[in-house]
Amino acid sequence: MKKFFIQTFGCQMNVYDGQRIAAMLKSRGLTETHDVADADIIILNTCAVRAKATDKVFSALGRIRRAKKADALFGIVGCVARESGADAFRRIPELNFVLGPQSYHKLPDILESPETKLLNIDLGGLEKFDEMPQMERSPAVAYIPIQEGCDHCCTYCIVPYTRGREVSRNPLDVMRDVEHAATTGAVEICFLGQNVNGYKYTDKNGVTHRLSELIAGAAKLDTVKRIRFTSSYPTEMTDDLIDMFRTEPKLLPFLNMPIQSGSPDVLRRMNRPYSLDLYINIIDKLKAARPDIQISSDFIVGFPGETDNDFAQTMDITDKIKYINSYSFKYSPRPHTAAAVMKDQIPENIKAERLAALDARLNEIQREFNESCVGRTLSCLCEGPDKTGRHMVYRTPYMQQCIVATCDNAPTIANIKITAANKASLRGEIVD
Q: Using CB distances below 5 to 8 A depending on partner kind, what does residue 332 bind out of ligand SAH, ligand F3S, none?
A: ligand SAH
Q: How far apart are CA 213 and CA 240, in angstroms?
A: 9
Contacts with ligand SAH, residue ranges (CB under 6 A): 11, 49-50, 156-157, 159, 194-195, 231, 258, 260, 298, 300, 329, 331-332, 334
Closest CB to ligand SAH among residues 321, 392: 321
Site for ligand F3S in 111-130 (CB under 6 A): none
Among 233, 279, 323, 394, binds ligand F3S (CB under 6 A): 233
Q: Using CB distances below 5 to 8 A depending on partner kind, what does residue 3 bind out of ligand SAH, ligand F3S, none?
A: none
Q: Using CB distances below 5 to 8 A depending on partner kind, what does residue 152 bind out of ligand F3S, ligand SAH, none?
A: ligand F3S
Q: Is 198 in the site for ligand F3S (CB under 6 A)?
A: no
Among 50, 68, 152, 225, binds ligand F3S (CB under 6 A): 152
Q: How far is the CB of 101 from ligand F3S (least distance, A)?
A: 12
3-state per-residue secondary structure call for the chain: CCEEEEEECCCHHHHHHHHHHHHHHHHCCCEECCCHHHCCEEEEEECCCCHHHHHHHHHHHHHHHHHCCCCCEEEEEEHHHHHHCCHHHHHCCCCCEEECCCCHHHCHHHHHCCCCCEEECCCCCCHHHHHCCCCCCCCCEEEEECEECCCCCCCCCCHHHHCCCCEECCHHHHHHHHHHHHHCCCCEEEEECCCHHHCEEECCCCCEEEHHHHHHHHHCCCCCCEEEEECCCHHHCCHHHHHHHHHCCCECCEEECCCECCCHHHHHHCCCCCCHHHHHHHHHHHHHHCCCCEEECEEEECCCCCCHHHHHHHHHHHHHHCCCCCEEEECCCCCCCCHHHCCCCCCHHHHHHHHHHHHHHHHHHHHHHHHHCCCCEEEEEEEEECCCCCEEEEECCCCCEEEEECCCCCCCEEEEEEEEECCCEEEEEECC
Closest CB to ligand SAH among residues 96, 261: 261
Closest CB to ligand SAH among residues 5, 299: 299
Q: Is 48 in the site for ligand F3S (CB under 6 A)?
A: no
Q: How far is the CB of 166 from ligand F3S (least distance, A)?
A: 9
Closest CB to ligand F3S among residues 232, 370: 232
Closest CB to ligand SAH among residues 136, 151: 151
Among 140, 150, 192, 392, binds ligand F3S (CB under 6 A): 150
Q: Using CB distances below 5 to 8 A depending on partner kind, what does residue 84 bind out of ligand SAH, ligand F3S, none?
A: none
Among 121, 123, 159, 282, binds ligand F3S (CB under 6 A): 159
Q: Using CB distances below 5 to 8 A depending on partner kind, what does residue 160 bind out of ligand SAH, ligand F3S, none?
A: ligand F3S
Q: Is 337 in the site for ligand F3S (CB under 6 A)?
A: no
Q: Which residues bind ligand F3S (CB under 6 A)?
A: 150, 152-154, 157, 159-160, 194-195, 233
